[in-house]
Amino acid sequence: MRLSKVSFRYSRRGPWVLRELDLTLAPGTVIEVTGKNGAGKSTLLRLLAGIVPPSRGTVSQRPRVVGYAPDVFPVGQPFTVTAYLTHMAEIRGISPDAIARLAERLEATHLLGQPLGDLSKGSAQKVGLIQSLLAPPDLLILDEPFAGLDAHTRGELPAMIGEIAAKGGTVVVSDHQNQLENFPGADHWLVAGGTVTTQQGERPKQVVIEVLVDAAEADEVEQKLQADGYTTRRTP
Amino acid sequence: MIPLVRFKLAAYTRSHRLLQPVIALCAMLAIFYSSPGPALESYSDSAALLIIVFAWAAKSLLDTEPPTQRLISMTAAGNPRREVVSGLAAAFTVNLGLATVAVVAPLLIRFGALPPPGDLARGVGLHLLGVCVGTALGALASAPILTSPATSLVVLFGGYVAMLLLSLTPIGGFLVPIMPWMRATNSGKLDEVLPQIAAATLLWSAAGVLAYLRLRRTRP
């Protein structure tokens, strides 16, 4: 899938949210998208999912089956979890058999009979994930999927993402919590100032070392460390 | 696309929002048929005045789905356009149901005898025109287009009143000719002007729907 010179704004006179993006998404890749609030991450995900067309430029070779899980699942709907997911399966034209399997994997079986309106944030997030995975996606787009999830699902989700990528699917995850920071081989995209900076492969792992020095020597030590290329932060 | 239409109809009926236009329909039918009158004239007034109920029903159906669910439905359906068209189809379906009640109820409880088949067909046709205009107006006033509830209500009711008033002007026959079709029926000249009235009404309805489709491209 390829984005060529893609720019986007919500109205003809509105400000550009994203400008002149040239991006390639190869099959089998996992991409973690980060950026400040309001940087345009969700807009970028919607462009990738085909929900909104670019104002300028083209998006080509988008895979056929797209799974999309929003950052906040809309619980204000008059259905039980099972009824809702069955409707989603019918809309996708697939059998609802996958519901039970996915619910078991995400420890959501006990939620199936509950009304959507009774779900907690984490439980609702699981329903959002299940609907996005009902048909094995060629392109899976997850907007802040880890928010509110329990420890089991936070651990299971990267494994599921890895399985989809291993089968040739592309996975794009907007991730404020950096849960995919150490995901093997993941690309990292930073959205800022209307552009996307890409970094391929594994990001170098960083640690914080605290160094205690005499106050009189602090300036000298800090200058030495900075001269060696390290980032320093002084605490009183 | 049919499963998506079914999903939208299920969400709408289960949300009980359907009750509002149904109650409005019943109240208006009770007023229209409180005194006896010729079937065709009654049908003509009913079709013209129920446009606001059809618009309200279309708007409330399109407002029912949370905005984020529309995004999910767009990806599940494989194409945003399918989600938008399914919404219009679901609104049209609900309005066909309301129009059926508006045509059949007086047959059962008001008209002493079955009207001539020609009058019945004209009544059905005029209600279909009302459904087309009402669905288009309701779609343009719906939450995906106008996020402010106050603005959308002003557009909904203001739009209908404007259509009524403009149809009284000399160019009314070329706009949505609501008043001309009521006057023509009352003066027994409906057949003479029906083709022009139908063409103008369908044209403006199609223009409204096309505008809605266009606006929804950047308003998912």
For residue A178, the model assigns a pLDDT of 76
Q: Quote the CA–CA distance of B132 and B58 in Å, as a whole number.
A: 10
Helix, coil or strand: residue A197: strand
pLDDT digit string (tens) for A49-90? Answer: 999 999 999 999 999 999 999 999 999 999 999 999 999 999
Shortest CA distance to A111 belongs to which of A73, A55, A159? A73
Residue B115 lies in a domain: yes
Q: Where are the beta strands (DSSP E) in B51-187?
A: none
- Note whether B81 contacts A: Cβ–Cβ < 8 A: no
Examine residue B142 and state whether it is found in any structural domain, yes or no.
Answer: yes
- The answer to whether A79 contacts B6, with C-beta atoms less than 8 Å apart, is no
Contact B75 A68 (CB under 8 A): yes
Instruction: For residue B71, list chain A residues with Cβ-Cβ distance below 8 A.
Output: 46, 49, 51, 68, 70
Domain boundaries, chain A: 2-205, 206-235
pLDDT band at B170 (very low <50, low <70, confident <90, very high): confident
Q: Do A79 and B14 lie within an 8 Å CB cutoff?
A: yes
Number of domains in chain B: 1
Q: Does residue B65 lie within any of the structural domains?
A: yes
Is A50 within 8 Å of B75 when comparing Cβ atoms?
yes
Quote the minimal CA–CA distance from B69 to chain A in Å.
6
Work out the minimum CA distance from A98 to partner chain B, whole angstroms: 15
Residue B199, phi then psi, degrees to nearest 5: -65, -45
A64/B78 Cβ within 8 A: yes
- Architecture of the domain made up of A2-205: 3-Layer(aba) Sandwich (3.40)
A60-69, A105-114, A115-124, A215-224, range with the lowest pLDDT:
A215-224
- Residue B220: inside a domain, yes or no? no
CB count in 10 Å sphere of residue B59: 28
Among the partner residues A10, A74, A91, nearest to B77 by beta-carbon distance: A91
More confident residue, A114 or A210: A114
| Residue B162: domain span | 2-215
Q: Which residue of B has its CA nearest to A45?
A: B71
Using a CB-CB cut-off of 8 Å, the residues of chain A touching B215 are none
Cβ of residue B82 closer than 8 Å to a chain A Cβ: no
Whole-number pLDDT of residue A205: 56
Q: Does B142 touch chain A (CB under 8 A)?
A: no
Sign of CA dihedral A56, A62, A68, A71: negative
Q: How far is B191 from chain A (nearest CA, A)?
A: 44
Q: What is the dihedral of CA B191, B192, B197, B202, to 10 degrees?
A: 60
**What is the reported pLDDT for A152?**
87
Distance from CA of B110 to the nearest CA of A (A): 37
Confidence check: pLDDT of B173 > 80: no
Mutation target to probe the A interface, by most A beta carbons within 10 A, among B5, B68, B75 is B75
Contact present, A3 and A21 (Cβ < 8 Å): yes
Residue A203 confidence (pLDDT): 46
For B44-94, the pLDDT digits (tens) are 999 999 999 999 999 999 999 999 999 999 999 999 999 999 999 999 999
The alpha-carbon gap from B10 to the nearest alpha carbon of chain A, in Å, equals: 9
B6 close to A (CB below 8 A) = yes
pLDDT of residue A182: 76
Q: Does the distance separating the beta carbons of A51 and B80 come in below 8 Å?
A: yes
pLDDT on residue A98: 93
A49–B10: do the CB atoms touch at under 8 Å? no
Which helix (H) or strand (E) covers residue A184, if one does? none
Arithmetic mean of pLDDT, A167-192: 87
Q: Which residues contact A48 (CB under 8 A, 6 or more apart)?
A: A1, A3, A25, A59, A62, A139, A141, A172
Q: What's the whole-number mean pLDDT along residues A159-183?
A: 87
The pLDDT assigned to A201 comes to: 65
Question: What is the per-residue pLDDT for B6?
Answer: 97
Please tell me the predicted confidence (pLDDT) of residue B13: 94
Mean pLDDT of A105-121: 95
pLDDT tens digit sequence for B94-107: 999 999 999 999 98
* pLDDT single digits (tens) B115-160: 889 999 999 999 999 999 999 999 999 999 999 999 999 999 999 9
Taking 80 as the threshold, does the pLDDT of residue B18 lie above it?
A: yes
Give the minimum alpha-carbon distance from B11 to chain A in angstroms, rounded to a whole number: 6
The ipTM estimated for the assembled molecules is 0.89
The percent of residues above 70 in pLDDT, for chain B, comes to 99
